[in-house]
Copies of this chain bind each other. A is one copy, B any other.
Amino acid sequence: MSASVKDVAALAGVSVGTVSNVMNRPEKVSASVSVRVQAAIDQLGFVRNDAARQLRAGHSSTIGLVVLDVRNPFFTDVARGAEDRAAEGGFSVILGNSDEKTDREATYLELFEVQRVHGVLISPLGDITARLRQLRDRGIPAVLVDRTSADTSFSSVSVDDIDGGTLAVEHLIAQGRRRIAFIGGPMEIQQVADRLEGARAAVAGHPDVSLEVITIDALSVLAGRAAGTRLVSRLAQDRPDAIFAANDMVAMGVLQALMMQGANVRVPEQIALIGYDDIDFASAAVVPLSSIRQPSALIGQTAVEILLEEAADPTRPPRQVVFQPELVVRESTA
């Protein structure tokens, strides 16, 4: 059906070894032969069969990436950073969306394993170090993304969510707020727990500041709005004067509830609001949202970099890279 190196070699009047050299080590081939072979390749429309190449090489030139949610702009940015860095090294990234479901996560890891990918980047759902260890035993290194490894036997690239939480709440306090509410959950999500911990740390230094924790069961607009609605149904003096939402989706929901017909809470005058992730929507909200920005593309790039190093030298000790988040101030807290 499609042409193989053999066909190219025959047409160009050289051996298959030479054809391979033309493609992979051009410096080993004389100019005249190189031209002839290239002509044959073009004429036949030859395209390398990656399966054969992989089989010989022992592993593919593909990197597998599993994210928690492709719809989340944070992860698409991570993916983009990873793709760009991978392309530089001649690798491509195949993207899997676990959608926060363990069975989907497992399916992708299986796919990557039979495909003998060069390595795996994963923003894991639960504790999958056992599975990753298995992969590593079979020659497939893994780097955790947006998650510090439970043990330190795997490299990871993440953002300091504790620090992010502190940043957010310190900003609220600096704006003169004293009754702060944290809205987020479920607490099983490490990132949520960390952001809350950071918030607590910020409050700890200020005896006159209180922190109320409002738990929700999903990081969604709907859950955020429900929580917001419950807040505005309180007497005005029982409401917080600032809200730190665990991510921007939740913040959007809260914002909607606050601005509702009946509620008419003014943001930020009566209640200030800050989110997390700095997604596109955040700046496009009715009241542009303050948020905590993570260097998403950089996370992807760095993860690929570490992965390639470990693939090249499996004895390299694992590294934990932690980036610092950044405060983005907009009208919702100004």
Question: Interface size class for chain A?
Answer: 35 or more
Take A1-B58, A52-B55, A256-B285 as given contacts and tell me if A47 and B113 are in contact as well, using a CB distance cutoff of 8 Å: yes
A36-86: which have CB < 8 Å to B?
A: 45, 47-52, 54-55, 58, 60, 70-71, 73, 76, 79
A47 to B109, CA, bound (A): 12
Contact of A49 among B79, B111, B116, B280 (CB under 8 A): B116
State how many copies of this chain the complex holds: 2
In Å, the complex CA distance between A80 and B1 comes to 31
Q: Are B114 and A48 in contact (CB under 8 A)?
A: yes
**B-chain residues with CB within 8 Å of residue A97 when the two chains form the complex:** 76, 79, 95
A134 located at the interface, meaning its Cβ lies under 8 Å from any Cβ of chain B in the complex = yes
Residues of B within 8 A of A49 (CB): 55, 114, 116
Q: In chain A, residues 131-159, which have Cβ atoms closer than 8 Å to a Cβ of chain B?
A: 134, 137-139
A259 at the interface (CB under 8 A from B): yes
| A315 vs B186: C-alpha distance when bound (angstroms) | 53
List residues 170-223 of chain A with CB under 8 A from any CB of chain B.
220-222
A60–B259 alpha-carbon span in the complex (Å)? 53
Interface residues of A in 91-143 (CB under 8 A from B): 92, 94-97, 107, 111, 113-116, 134, 137-139
Chain B residue numbers with a CB within 8 Å of A73 are 71
Asked whether B45 lies within 8 Å of A51 as measured between CB atoms, the reply is: no
A225 to B222, CA, bound (A): 22
Q: How far is the CA of A48 from the CA of B116 in the complex (A)?
A: 9
The answer for the CA separation of A256 and B285 in the assembled complex, in Å, is: 7
Check if A47 sits within 8 Å of B281, measured CB to CB.
Answer: no
Residue A286 is within 8 A (CB to CB) of chain B in the complex: yes
How far apart are A143's CB and chain B's nearest CB, in angstroms? 19
A2 at the binding interface (Cβ < 8 Å): yes
Smallest CB separation, A161 vs chain B (Å): 22
- A71–B97 alpha-carbon span in the complex (Å): 12
Given contacts A73-B71, A253-B284, are A116 and B221 in contact (CB under 8 A)? no
Which residues of B are found within 8 Å of A280, using beta-carbon distances? 221
Q: How far apart are the CA atoms of A138 and B44 in the complex, in Å?
A: 11
7 tightest Cβ-Cβ pairs between the two chains A and B = A51-B54, A221-B284, A2-B138, A50-B114, A51-B55, A1-B139, A256-B286
28 A-B pairs within 8 Å (CB atoms) are namely: A1-B58, A2-B139, A45-B137, A45-B138, A47-B113, A47-B138, A49-B55, A50-B115, A50-B116, A51-B51, A51-B52, A51-B55, A52-B55, A70-B71, A70-B76, A70-B79, A70-B95, A79-B97, A87-B107, A94-B94, A95-B95, A95-B97, A221-B280, A256-B284, A256-B285, A256-B286, A259-B286, A260-B286
